[in-house]
Each structure stands twice: as C-alpha cells, then as structure tokens.
Amino acid sequence: MPQGLYYFMMKNDQTIQVMVDEDQTFEIKVAMNDIFNSIQVNGSFETELMYKTIQYEQTINPELIQITEKLKGLQESSPEYKTLVSKKLELEAQKMSYFQKLLADHPKSLFANFKVSGQNPAFRIDLPKEKQVHQYRSDFWKNVNFNDRRLLRTPMIGTKLTRYFKELTLQNPDSIVSSAHSLMKLCENNKEYFMVFVNWVMTTYEPGKATLMDAESVFSQMALSYFTYDKAFWSDTTEVNFIRKRATEMSASLVGQDGPNVISTDQFGKQQELLAKKTEYIVVYLFNPDCENCQKETPLLHEFYLKNKSNVDVFAIAIDTDDAEWRDYIKQKKLSWTNVYDPTNKSIYGKYFVDHTPEMYLLNKKRKIIGKNLKTFQLQTMIDKDKSGR
C-alpha cells in the first residue's frame, strides 16, 4: 500500500496507528489500555520510531501543556509571563533538537521527516509584536520537506495547510492570494504538492461556496497564475482554457476595481449608461425574472431603492431571459429603477461576472466596486462603511 500513516480502526472505537514505509511486513503486540507503554513492534522501523518518540514526548508534553494553560491567565508584561515563555521556548527547542537528531540519523525515514516537518516554527519574541505573526507565517513551512511526497499521506500537511490559510492569514482575497503565492514558491518544483495546494486553495475559496466576499478574486488570481499550460501539468488544454476563460471573465469585476461601464437599452428603447448615473452609489443588479431567489430579492431591493433613491440608483440588468418575460416582470413588479436587457448579451459580457442570480454589486462615488455577492440587507452597512472610510 502507499507509504504513509494509517489507523486500524475497530468497531469498538479502539484505534492503533501505524507508520508504514516500503517494508510492510511486521508484527505488533500491544495492551490497548496502555498503548504507549506496552507496545512492542517487531519489523517496522517507522512504527517503532513513532512509538518511541511518543514515549519521549510524554516526558515533556505535560509540562508544556501546563505552561500554556498558565500563560492564558497572565499579563504579557508580568515577569512570570516572560519566565514561562522562555521555559516554553526552551522545551520546544529541546523537542525540536530531538526530532532533528532523528532526521540526521535517519534522513530517509518517513517518521523523522513527518515529525520535523510537522513542527511549528518558534515564536520570535525578540521581534516587535506587529512583526511576530508575519514572521511566524513566513517561517511556517520552513521545516517541511517538500521532496517527500509520502508526507501527503499523513494528516500533518493538511493540518498545516488549514492552519496557514484559516488562522494565520487574514480572510480577504489579497491576503489569501499572497499567502498562496508564498507557499507555491516553496513547492514549485514539487509537482504533487504544487498540484494539491493550487487545487485546495481554489476549491476552499470557490466562488459561490466560500463565505468570503469576492471569492472570485482568489479564484481568478490563482487560475491566471497557476492554470497555465506549462504549470498545470495535471490538466488538459481544454480544462486549462475553460478555467482561464472563467478567471478572465471574473477578473473584470473584482472588489476595489473600477466598475466597468454598461451601455444598454431600457424597456422604452432608450439607451442607458451605467456610469452616467449621478447618484452617490449605484447598485448593479443582475437577475433573471424566472429565478426563485430573484423573486424574493427583487421586491426587497426595490423597497430599498424607493427609500434611498436620492443617493442610491439601481441599474438592473436582466439576463438569460427574453424580451416579453422581461417586460412582463417589470410591469408586474412595478420596477421604477433603470431596467436594461440585451438579448445578444454583447453589452454585458465580460463586465460584471455573475455565477448565480441574483448578483448584486455596489459602486461608490468614485465608481469603484466596494461590494459584491451582496443581499439587500447588507447594502446600508456597506454604504456606511464606505462613508466612514473616506
């Protein structure tokens, strides 16, 4: 079987871990009520090393846990806090040197690579506080041996990856993409890591599924950087073309960018220009008369519009419909804002990306996109936030 870490799991919830390399013929004797002290491994260097190391860690971990608990209740400026932090760093360094010796003695060992790679970097208390997290994030992958593909078949890489993106990276598109670029640079020559990391970031922050505002920004920047014909070795030309086309479509309407202009025709046959609107804010509303969510959102937005039309205009673009259905919808819902529809889609294509209807963009006075994937109830908050940030 593939080299990696495995759990033998029984129906009675008992579990035994084994670490397997190429030699997979071995025997274990163990008392399940005291696994770590009773285990005898015969024939598996990796599993034996794993349990010996767990035994070693048991001599240090209780003290480390105790210190971590004590630190939670102390002021950072207190002398006791500083003493405990020094002690904690000392114990962690002691553990690290033990693991590094394992690796020096057994450089090809899966377990030794697993253990050293899994260690978190030391927290740099010598640095100013504002730089500590940045440094920690920069050092986060430095112990990982990306030349060892077997580590992907342990839980360690996945745990680190989740922590790196979800805990050590601010949850906004630019920070996520910046962290991704730093990581991809470290493993650009390690094909399997490169492939799974690119795909993990793109699926974790997938537009429409991630709760992040403007997940399209993550998707498009990742796709345009890494889904190239030479880098995306796992994809065929058709898939690369499709993903790049989609990313390019998304990239025209990212938060922070200038809102693209749309010139299209209203229900009276008159030309309407989005950026010619004079109100302080413009909502670009892309909807389909037939969609269930649009049926719910349209009346809410229209009510908001009627209350705020002195400073918020709505430019409603109907998509995937036909002329009669669109006109009927306007009449039925008494939509008094600007309505446009282009049956050829030419005036809209590549401007405001829409994956699921309804889609709502908010443009500010400078006609920058300040929000997207919005619901009506969020508009006022976005407007207030924009005003307070001026």
Partner 1 sequence: MKYFVFVLSLLIWVSCKESAPKNQNSPVSLEADPGKDPISNPVMGGPTDIKITMTDLTYTGPVQIVGFYLDQNYIQDTTVAQNGIITYKSAKVCLRGFITL
* 94 is an interface residue for partner 1 by CB under 8 A: no
Sign of the CA dihedral 203, 206, 212, 215? positive
Q: Which one of residues 29, 72, 129, 346 is an interface residue with partner 1 (CB under 8 A)?
A: 29
The Cα 144–Cα 162 span in angstroms is 15
Q: For residue 221, give the DSSP letter.
A: H
The minimum distance between CB 198 and partner 1, in angstroms, equals 12
How far, in Å, are 55, 182, 267, 338 from residue 103 at the CA level?
17, 26, 73, 68
Q: Are strands 312-318 and 338-341 parallel, antiparallel or unpaired?
A: parallel
Scored b (16 or more CB within 10 A) or e, 98-127 reads ebeebbeeeeebbbbbbbbbbbebebeeee
The Cα 303–Cα 84 span in angstroms is 59
Candidates 30-38, 73-81, 276-284, 380-388; binding stretch for partner 1 (CB under 8 A):
30-38
* 234 is an interface residue for partner 1 by CB under 8 A: yes
* 249 is an interface residue for partner 1 by CB under 8 A: no
Candidates 154-162, 276-284, 290-298, 355-363; binding stretch for partner 1 (CB under 8 A):
154-162
The Cα 262–Cα 284 span in angstroms is 10
Candidates 22-30, 50-58, 76-84, 249-257; binding stretch for partner 1 (CB under 8 A):
22-30
Q: Which one of residues 12, 211, 332, 344 is an interface residue with partner 1 (CB under 8 A)?
A: 12
Residue 374: which residues within 8 A CB-CB, separation 6 or more? 360, 361, 362, 382
Candidates 3-11, 58-66, 136-144, 358-366; binding stretch for partner 1 (CB under 8 A):
3-11
The minimum distance between CB 31 and partner 1, in angstroms, equals 5
Q: Which one of residues 37, 61, 94, 162 is an interface residue with partner 1 (CB under 8 A)?
A: 162
Q: Which residues bind partner 1 (CB under 8 A)?
A: 1-12, 14, 16, 18, 20-33, 38, 45-46, 106-109, 147-150, 152-155, 157-159, 161-162, 191-192, 195-196, 200, 233-234
